[in-house]
Structure 1
Amino acid sequence: MSTTSDRHALVIGASQGLGLVLADELARRGWQVIATTRRDGGELQARADAWNGRLEIEPLEMTDPAQPAALRERLTGRSLDLLFVNAAIDRGDLPIDRVSTDMFTEVMVTNALSPLHTLEALRTLVAPGGTVAVMSSDQGSISRNTEGGYELYKASKAALNQLMRSYTTRHADDGHTKLLIDPGHNRTRLGGFDAPLAPQESIPAVVDVLEAQAGAPGLRFLDRHGETVPW
């Protein structure tokens, strides 16, 4: 692992919302951060300019299978202490009988399949003792699914969690800490602007968890307080 003053992170999906605040918080703590976005400019570029080299930007459309591999080639020779995949979409609060096949496919590809494709493409950049993390949600907890609503989104996060379990089984001996993170219900475009948490409140707590868990073996599903979320 790198020293405290020389830690390197790659944040996938940082153009807005939780990913943007995560990249900014890591840079504030002294990490050297690479952040990906699907489009140029915007707030991420403004943050990169403000950090004067500590935060750099790479283009990535995660749902295009060729792009994570291309990013891997561009980053050849770089070593990461943290690879964090943050990506999710929601197509509204519909019961499953009103979800079209196209909508189901879009959400599952974005929220479950593409994050794991991205991890597989980029995992060899992570140093021994480094961390591979994915932004999940307690909405993906089957045991906590006791209230109605958002059936497709919940299913996609449960699928993400299951695929991360399989990933951990296949790569049990790689020496990486593996985390699924529930950041809580935040005021973002995805979470809605009446949500109880601001990303500027929750994300520093998430980074505390990431830093505290560094070097821990196996896979854990944790909330922003470091508490275990039931599967």
Structure 2
Amino acid sequence: MSGTIMITGCNRGIGLELTAQFAKDGWRVFACCRDLKKADELNALQAKYPLIEPIQLDVTDYEQMIALGKALKGEPIDILLNNAGYYGPKGTGFGKVDREEWRRVLESNTIAPYMMAETFCDNVAASDYKLIAMMSSKVGSIADNRSGGGYIYRSSKTALNQIVKSLSIDLHDRGITVMALHPGWVKTAMGGPGALISTAQSVAALKKLLTQAGQGKSGRFYNYDGSEIPW
């Protein structure tokens, strides 16, 4: 079965691969990225798969987001996948935290995904799949934190996980499933060349999770391989 998926952060890495794999399977893809003029790979992919609809969207520009919501009013969106994010500066151990960068990361990784859910929940509710998925990270798991540090990125994903849990409760009566996902340690610009898996491997597994999700998985946190991660 195919449908319509909206993905943010589609200009490279996991977002670009998600766009490719869903489009290849016959899905209509609203492929959002911050600057379409610089999204050469996405534009080339759209030429190959006409079901891809590139959309310029900076997820921290809420006026732009609201305008897009109005433009897509009444359009069912089966899966809303909030993939866009910002890692921030590395080496943010104790005593080395940049407060302004922390605010920027929280804006991108925590507030923006919530605003996407708020803006497009009616579209999701009108669909068949009724799924909102947030790209989180295992480093946001409090139970899994054994190394400390990483205050900026860790806290943004921990906060995102709490949003997932609350949304799963608040949107339950509308039949919407909300879940958090960890893509694995992926060979991207963020993950680096020493990462363990390719974008193709990560996305193939994530796509299976997304297309087989139901309300029994709502309000939970999953690794790309389907195993559950403790909050």
TM-score by length of 2: 0.93
Secondary structure, in 3 states, of the residue corresponding to 2:195?
A: coil
Say if 2:144 is the partner of 1:144: yes
Match of 1:97 among 67, 71, 95: 95
Secondary structure, in 3 states, of the residue corresponding to 2:228?
A: coil
Match of 2:33 in 1: 37
Shift of 1:30: 1.5
Match of 2:22 among 17, 20, 26: 26
Match of 2:48 in 1: 50
User: Distance between the aligned counterparts of 2:94 and 2:72, measured in 1?
Assistant: 40
Change over 3 Å in CA distance of 1:129–1:24 after alignment to 2:
closer
Q: What amino acid does structure 2 have at the position aligned with 1:114?
A: A
Q: What RMSD over aligned residues (CA atoms) do the two structures have, in Å? A: 1.5
Q: 1:129–1:215: 8 Å Cα contact kept in structure 2? A: no
Shift of 1:163: 1.7
Match of 1:207 in 2: 207
User: Distance between the aligned counterparts of 2:3 and 2:97, measured in 1?
Assistant: 43
- Superposed CA deviations along residues 22-81 of structure 1, whole A, max 9, x for unmatched, are 111111112111110111241111111111x21111110101121221111121231111
Q: What amino acid does structure 2 have at the position aligned with 1:74?
A: A
Change over 3 Å in CA distance of 1:214–1:167 after alignment to 2:
closer
Match of 1:177 in 2: 177
User: Distance between the aligned counterparts of 1:42 and 1:116, measured in 2?
Assistant: 28
Q: 1:12–1:85: 8 Å Cα contact kept in structure 2? A: yes
Shifted more, 161-170 versus 106-115: the winner is: 161-170
- Superposed CA deviations along residues 187-227 of structure 1, whole A, max 9, x for unmatched, are 11111221111111111010011111145463221111111
Shift of 1:93: 2.1
Ranges in structure 1 where 5+ consecutive residues have no aligned partner: none
Secondary structure, in 3 states, of the residue corresponding to 2:81?
A: strand
Secondary structure, in 3 states, of the residue corresponding to 2:41?
A: helix
Shift of 1:150: 2.2
Q: 2:169–2:219: 8 Å Cα contact kept in structure 1? A: no
Match of 1:222 in 2: 222
Match of 1:17 in 2: 13
User: Distance between the aligned counterparts of 1:163 and 1:121, measured in 2?
Assistant: 15
Secondary structure, in 3 states, of the residue corresponding to 1:222?
A: strand
Q: What amino acid does structure 2 have at the position aligned with 1:25?
A: Q
Ranges in structure 2 where 5+ consecutive residues have no aligned partner: none
Identity %: 30
Q: What amino acid does structure 2 have at the position aligned with 1:124?
A: D
User: Distance between the aligned counterparts of 1:215 and 1:133, measured in 2?
Assistant: 12
- Superposed CA deviations along residues 98-142 of structure 1, whole A, max 9, x for unmatched, are 112211101111111111111111111112541110101111100
Q: 2:179–2:221: 8 Å Cα contact kept in structure 1? A: yes
Match of 1:132 in 2: 132
Count of residue correspondences: 226
Q: 1:82–1:130: 8 Å Cα contact kept in structure 2? A: yes
TM-score by length of 1: 0.93
Secondary structure, in 3 states, of the residue corresponding to 1:70?
A: helix
Q: What amino acid does structure 2 have at the position aligned with 1:31?
A: W
Task: Give the alignment of 1:153-168 within 5 angstroms.
Answer: 153-168=153-168
Match of 1:63 in 2: 60
Q: 2:140–2:157: 8 Å Cα contact kept in structure 1? A: yes
